[in-house]
Amino acid sequence: MKTRTLGRSLEVSAVGFGCMGLNFSYGHTLEKPAALTLLRQAFDAGVTFFDTAEAYGPYTNEEWVGEGLAPVRDRVVLGTKFGFRQGQLALGLDSRPETIRAVAEASLRRLKTDRLDLFYQHRVDPAVPIEEVAGTVKALIAEGKVRHFGLSEASAATIRRAHAVQPVTAVQSEYSLWWREPEQSVLPTLEELGIGLVPFSPLGRGYLTGAIDATTEFPRGDFRNTVPRFTPEARQANQSLVDQLAALAARRQVTTAQIALAWLLAQKPWIVPIPGTTKLNRLHENVGGAEVSLSREELAGIDAVLAATTVQGARYPAHLAAIVSNEEQSRGDSR
């Protein structure tokens, strides 16, 4: 697979692998042996960038990633995260220095490694100055326990403040054809400072693949059952966008998901999406998205569709929005 560089020096595969869904959040999860196999199949397909967090499980996702990739540890980049109390979203944020250090040590053990390649703050904690967070990670880098510092869903102002203390290598944020808010201020800031963007949910939590419509029923325990953007009414209202992407995909003889990933990759050379899946065929489909090149005319056509589209539904339920949403974004806005 082609590679891209995050920040000044972190080289990764052009498409990474978001590991969360292996056993967390989406209802259909894998048994551990199947998950370990899929992780190795991702590596064999050319993926060298794997994303996890202590909060996924909590804890078990890191353990599976560490075990599954142990034989190829020195040939992959592992990203993980700190920032929730005891690794549980429901308990709220916690980025105190002592917590960051404790999470780093625990993540090192679970991932079976001696260094964390990319250590993100999972969400900005308003109770702890970002300079204090960055300084703590800077010390961990000096100790050799962490290689690169990352932020997730941070505002442009927060990114600047953190970067002034410890250079930020990557910012992870939701970014896709149906969530473009980072274009307003985050992307210009990253370009100015030389920071990479790692889009999570680059396929709109599955909606942009074309495999979901208004009649789709999600399994019990699937996070999307609580998301306003995934109500049947919102899915019906948003169907036109997917239909138009599918038409382009048919002309190109690729899949709708590959068009969505190719669009992201075309935005900036320092963008590395991390789609997740539990299925081998979807894994190969996602990897293939890195080989799809869109022409100027095709990109202009997609932009015209997006300009005429207002995506319906907030991306998080109200009870989670204050914790997991970007500091700057307006709630429920399609951009």
* Model pLDDT for residues 227-274, shown as the tens digit of each residue: 999 999 999 999 999 999 999 999 999 999 999 999 999 999 999 999
Does residue 210 lie within any of the structural domains? no
* pLDDT value, residue 329: 42
Does residue 172 lie within any of the structural domains? yes
CATH of the domain at 37: 3.20.20.100
* pLDDT value, residue 195: 99
Model confidence at 100, pLDDT cuts 50, 70, 90, reads: very high
Model confidence at 328, pLDDT cuts 50, 70, 90, reads: very low
Q: How many CB atoms lie within 10 A of CB 322?
A: 9
Query: Amino acid identity, residue 296?
Result: R
Does residue 47 lie within any of the structural domains? yes
Q: Could you tell me the pTM of the whole model? A: 0.95
The answer to whether the CB of 176 falls within 8 A of the CB of 260 is yes
Q: Which helix (H) or strand (E) holds 24?
A: none
pLDDT at residue 80 above 90?
Answer: yes
User: What is the total residue count of the chain?
Assistant: 335
* Model pLDDT for residues 55-79, shown as the tens digit of each residue: 999 999 999 999 999 999 999 999 9
Does residue 58 lie within any of the structural domains? yes
Supply the angle between the helices 186-193 and 156-165 in degrees, to the nearest 10.
20
Does residue 197 lie within any of the structural domains? yes
What is the average pLDDT across 283-311? 97
Identify the top-confidence range among 20-29, 164-173, 221-230: 164-173
As given in the structure block, the two tokens for residue 106 are 């625990």
68 lies in which domain range?
3-203+269-292
Structurally, how many domains does the chain consist of?
Answer: 1
What is the average pLDDT across 196-222? 95
Does residue 85 lie within any of the structural domains? yes
The answer to whether the CB of 39 falls within 8 A of the CB of 237 is no
Distance between CA atoms of residues 317 and 217, nearest Å: 18
Catalytic site residue 56? Answer: yes
* pLDDT value, residue 216: 96
Does residue 34 lie within any of the structural domains? yes
Model confidence at 332, pLDDT cuts 50, 70, 90, reads: very low
For all residues of the chain together, what is the average pLDDT? 94
Helices and strands: H and E segment counts in the chain: 11, 9
Cα–Cα distance list, 78 to 49, 133, 148, 227 (Å): 6, 20, 10, 29
Catalytic residue among 56, 120, 175, 207: 56
* pLDDT value, residue 330: 35
The answer to whether the CB of 173 falls within 8 A of the CB of 199 is yes
Distance between CA atoms of residues 310 and 289, nearest Å: 25
Does residue 55 lie within any of the structural domains? yes
CA 99 from chain centre, in angstroms, equals: 23
